[in-house]
Structure 1
Amino acid sequence: MIDEEPVTTADLVGARLTRVTAARRHRQSATAPGLSHLRLDLEGLGPVLFRTPGSGLSFQADATGATDESAASGTTADPTDLPLTRFLGQPIRSVGAVEYRDGRTAFTAGLALGFEGGRVRLLGLDGALLVVGPEEHLGGVEARLHEDTTLARVVWTCSSSPSQWSAWTTGGRYLYFRYRHGEGSVEHFPGGPDPDTWDEEGSGLLARWHDGSRRGEIDLADFLVLAGLRLAPNSEVLDGR
C-alpha cells in the first residue's frame, strides 16, 4: 500500500478496483453525478482519494481511508448508480488525460480510466467532480473536452515475440506499443523512439492488460481496440521491420 509516496497515473494502470466510495454534493449536475470526493480502493495500491480544486482533478493516497463529508449530502459505498461500480473486480486497463480547451482557456480536466468493456471519465469542472460513464454525454461541454488517443503515424518494428510498434498521435506524442505472452502495453516517451531518452521525466505507462493467452503476436487493429486507441482517417501505417 502507498502511504506517503505520491500516486501517479502509471500507478493506477493494472490496479484492480475493489471498492468505490462516493461523497455526493448537495447541488447535482444535470448530466452526471456530482461528487465532492471519490475514493477508489485498488488492490496492491490501497485507497486513492480523488477530488477537484475547482478546475481539474487531484488524486493522492488516502492512508486514513476516510473522506471529508462536510460538503457532501451523503457518502455511499459501491453506489449502483455510479458508472464506476459496474467495473468492480476489474483491473484498470488504461489511464489517459482529458484536456479542456476553450479559446485561451486550457487545462487538464481529468482522467479517462479504461476497463474491459468500457471506460469512465473523472472530471473536475466548475468545482464539482463528475463521473461520466461510457454512454454519457456532457452536452455542449463535450466539444471542449479532448483526449490524445488518435494516431497519425504507426511504424511496425517487430512482428512477433514481441509484436511492437512506434506510434505518434495527432497531438505529437510518441507511444511505444508492445505485446508478448498475451500482455499488451502502451508507454509514452517524450524523447521519441531513441531508447537512450526513455528515462526522461514525463515517461510513463499508459496502458497494460493481459488477454489470457500466451501468444507473442497480435494484429495492430486488435491491439488498438484493447488499448483504447484509434487510427486517424489519413494515418500512415508503415512496415519498418
Structure 2
Amino acid sequence: MIDEEPVAAADLVGARLTGVTAARHQRQSATAPHLSHLWLHLERLGPVLFRTPGEGLSFRSDAAGPATTTGTTATTTDPADLPLTRFLGQPIRSVSAVEYRDGGTAFTAGLALGFEGGRVRVLGLDGALLVVGPDGHLGGVEARLHEDTALARVVRTCSSSPSQWNAWTTGGRYLYFRYRHGEGSVEHFPGGPDPDAWDEEGSGLLARWHDGSRRGEIALADFLVLAGLRLAPNSEVLDGR
C-alpha cells in the first residue's frame, strides 16, 4: 500500500463516517463506481483522501479537504449511488487489506471497511478507484482478490469478563480477540500469543465495536460476525482454559 503523509489502516477503526466526497473518473463501469479521488470525512481524523497511483491504494490525511473541482472533474458530496453513503453516521468496525494475486503479480489492491450491516471495498485497480458495496461483484476479477480473514485455528483462553481467544488465520497471522463490557476488539501481533513478544512494530488494531451492552461474555460465532471474520472449512476450535 502506498501512503503519503499516511494515516495507518488501524487509525480508521472506530472512526465514525460523517461524510463522503467523490470525484468521478471519466471512464465508468456497470459493476462499481470508478473514481479519481475519494474523501472519507471521519470523526476525529477529519478528511482522509483515497486515490490510486495506478495499481494499489494511497490514503492520507487531507486537512484542506476536497476542492470544488479536481482538475476538470467535479466533486459530489454524499452521492446516493456510492455504497459508502448508506453507512453515514456509523463507525468503521473493521479494516482488512485486499490482496490482488494473479500468477507472478501480487500487490495490495485496497481495503475492506466493515460497518454494521455490511462491508465496502475501496480498491485501486487499472488506474481507477473502485468502490464495491456489500452486494457488489467484479466478475472475473473476484477470483484474484483475497482477504486474510478465514481462521484456521481458534483457542479460547477465557470465557467471560473478558471473553478471550487466540486465533490464527489461514495465512498464518496471529490474532488476539477480546470482548468485555460490550466492547469487542481484534488485534494482530506478529510475535504470536506470548505477550512478552508483543511490540508496536507490525502490530495493529483490525476491528473494534461496542454493542451497546455491558456484557462480558459472547459466543465465538457472534464475535466473528461482528469482527468480519469467519472459520475456514475444517478449522480447529479448541477450549484452552
Same fold (TM over 0.5): yes
CA deviation after TM superposition for structure 1 residue 45, in Å: 1.0
1:35 aligns with 2:2: no
Q: Output the CA distance in 2 between the equivalents of 1:105 and 1:191.
A: 28
Q: Does the aligned pair in 2 maintain the 1:189–1:204 contact within 8 Å?
A: yes
Give deviations 1:147-172, integer Å, cap 9, x for gaps: 00000000000001000000000010
1:166 maps to: 166
1:121 maps to: 121
Partner secondary structure for residue 222 of structure 1: helix
1:144 maps to: 144
CA deviation after TM superposition for structure 1 residue 194, in Å: 1.1
CA deviation after TM superposition for structure 1 residue 30, in Å: 3.1
Letter aligned with residue 87 of structure 2? F
CA deviation after TM superposition for structure 1 residue 233, in Å: 1.4
Partner secondary structure for residue 142 of structure 1: helix
CA shift in 2, pair 1:12/1:104, >3 Å: same
1:45 maps to: 45
Partner secondary structure for residue 179 of structure 1: strand
Q: Output the CA distance in 2 between the equivalents of 1:125 and 1:176.
A: 31
Q: Output the CA distance in 2 between the equivalents of 1:216 and 1:230.
A: 21
Q: Does the aligned pair in 2 maintain the 1:189–1:198 contact within 8 Å?
A: yes
Q: Does the aligned pair in 2 maintain the 1:25–1:71 contact within 8 Å?
A: no
CA deviation after TM superposition for structure 1 residue 201, in Å: 1.3
CA deviation after TM superposition for structure 1 residue 200, in Å: 4.2
More displaced stretch, 81-90 vs 194-203 = 194-203
Letter aligned with residue 164 of structure 2? Q
CA deviation after TM superposition for structure 1 residue 63, in Å: 1.2
Q: Does the aligned pair in 2 maintain the 1:191–1:200 contact within 8 Å?
A: no
1:195 maps to: 195
Give deviations 1:15-66, integer Å, cap 9, x for gaps: 0000000000111123110000000100111110000010000100001112
1:66 maps to: 66
Letter aligned with residue 192 of structure 1? G
Give deviations 1:80-138, integer Å, cap 9, x for gaps: 00000000000000000000000000000000000000010000000000000000100
Q: Does the aligned pair in 2 maintain the 1:92–1:113 contact within 8 Å?
A: yes
Equivalence map 1:171-190=2 (5 Å): 171-190=171-190
RMSD: 1.2
Partner secondary structure for residue 85 of structure 1: helix
Q: Give the gaps of 5 or more residues in structure 1.
A: none
1:7 aligns with 2:28: no
Partner secondary structure for residue 59 of structure 2: strand
Letter aligned with residue 164 of structure 1? Q
2:236 maps to: 236
Q: Give the gaps of 5 or more residues in structure 2.
A: none
TM-score in terms of structure 2 length:
0.96
Give 4+ residue runs of structure 1 displaced > 2 Å after superposition.
none
Q: Does the aligned pair in 2 maintain the 1:23–1:35 contact within 8 Å?
A: yes
Partner secondary structure for residue 70 of structure 2: coil
Count how many residue pairs are aligned between Structure 1 and Structure 2.
Answer: 237
1:130 maps to: 130
Q: Does the aligned pair in 1 maintain the 2:165–2:177 contact within 8 Å?
A: yes
